Amino acid sequence: MDEHYHAGGPAIKVSMLFFGPLAERFGQREVTVSLDSGTTTSQLVERFDLGDMLEFGLRIAIDGEMDADMDKPLSDSSEVAFLPPVSGG
């Protein structure tokens, strides 16, 4: 079993889904990462250096919920989708 324990407690696995230019930037549409229990979406954004993209309209859905609380700790098996800004008129 691939279970790791860190100072913050047991590790959790989170799926990151990338769409549009982000999928190209990371070279794949889905990445599963191991994080310390208690990690927030904000910390995940920092870890993958996506903060600058938030300023340009990047939207994040946590377990299918748009604009969820990014300071709430993620759960094991959470799905975090990074959606590019919608252009239109």
Amino acid at 46: E
Q: Which domains does the chain have, with CATH numbers?
A: 9-83 (3.10.20.30)
Q: What is the 3-state secondary structure (H, E, C) of 44-74?
A: HHHHCCCHHHHHCCCEEEECCEECCCCCCEC
Q: What is the DSSP letter of 29?
A: S
Largest Cα–Cα distance in the chain?
Answer: 50
**CB count, 10 Å around CB of 78?**
19
Mind listing the pLDDT tens digit of every residue in the chain (89 residues)?
A: 344 444 556 899 999 999 988 899 889 999 999 999 999 999 999 999 999 888 889 999 999 999 899 999 999 999 999 998 876 55
